[in-house]
Chain A
Amino acid sequence: MSLTKTDKTIIVTIWNKIAPQADSIGTETLERLFASYPQTKTYFPHFDLSHGSAQLHGHGTKVVNAIGDAVKSIDNISSALSKLSELHAYILRVDPVNFKLLSHTFLVTVAARFPADFTAEAHAAWDKFLSIVSSVLTEKYR
């Protein structure tokens, strides 16, 4: 699976729209993840995951900023996320199934906030993009 020129244009356009709300999108994405998939909380025993928590906000920001980095280096996501890829493989070791869950709750968040922009084409391009990001993050797992 690789991104077409059209995919890339759509992805960047949507990113520019959502970037001003990056922080709160990140927080909401994580809240949705923990609400719908409580098992994902097992990776955060050290966090206060309650609504409004500073740790939740901080981590959400981190996650969405990383997505933004991938958008900005959309022609070389592998290289842009190389350090994060190592982090996930050797330190965090989040089971790969969870990347799909996070991608989903990110898309739900964007769909809820930007219904007019989140067309079927945008949905398809972003689903593809997040799937590629997930692959990059798990590519060093074994």
Chain B
Amino acid sequence: MVHFTAEEKNAITTTWGKVNVEETGGEALGRLLVVYPWTQRFFDSFGNLSSASAILGNPKVKAHGKKVLTSFGDAVKNLDNLKATFSKLSELHCDKLHVDPENFRLLGNILVICLAEHFGKDFTPEVQAAWQKLVAGVATALAHKYH
């Protein structure tokens, strides 16, 4: 189980407080689909994903990105209990969505890059390390119920 120090929790919650979930969610999901085009396999119903600008401007991508990142907010509020927090979502991603957990790791790293872009110098190596721990913890929690 992931254990966060007080400093790490502080770094995470401080960053999160300044994140525009709607914007960053759309950006992170969009970048996932641009940088790793094979991830588009899960989004056949999303319409035009033919170019980077099409993807980043796509309203379905933005909406879904917002949904995903909002759910991430639950992780931030439950840092000591990620597995339980994502238990139902884990079952959903396995049984209904059939998503390879590797995709959670890819999205986690894309999110870290988006945060680096937004926060620049403030996204210090220590802050990044706390976030890497979080995204890894979320990825593991989402994969936990897979069978």
A-to-B contact residues, CB < 8 Å: 28, 31-32, 34-37, 104-105, 107-109, 111-113, 115, 118-121, 123-124, 127
Contact = CB atoms under 8 A, between A and B. Distances in A.
Nearest to A104: B109
A124 B35 contact: yes
Interface in B111-143: 112-114, 116-121, 123, 125-126, 128-129, 132
Given A32-B128, A104-B109, A112 B34 contact: no
Given A32-B128, A36-B128, A111 B31 contact: no
Interface size class of B (residues with CB under 8 A): 20 to 34
A31 B53 CA distance: 33
Given A32-B128, A107-B113, A112-B116, A120 B52 contact: yes
A133 B140 CA distance: 29
20 contacts: A31-B125, A32-B125, A35-B126, A35-B128, A36-B125, A36-B128, A36-B129, A37-B132, A108-B113, A108-B116, A108-B128, A111-B116, A112-B119, A115-B117, A115-B120, A120-B31, A120-B56, A121-B52, A123-B35, A127-B35
A28 B125 contact: yes
A129 B118 CA distance: 23
B123 A112 contact: yes
B30 interface: yes
Contact of A112 (B30, B109, B117, B129): B117
Interface centre among B55, B126, B132 (most CB of A within 10 A): B132
A3 B119 CA distance: 30
Nearest to B132: A36
Interface in B89-120: 109, 112-114, 116-120
Contacts of A113: 120
Contacts of B35: 120, 123-124, 127
A111 B27 CA distance: 14
A35 B129 contact: yes
Contacts of A28: 125
A29 B129 CA distance: 12
Nearest to B136: A36
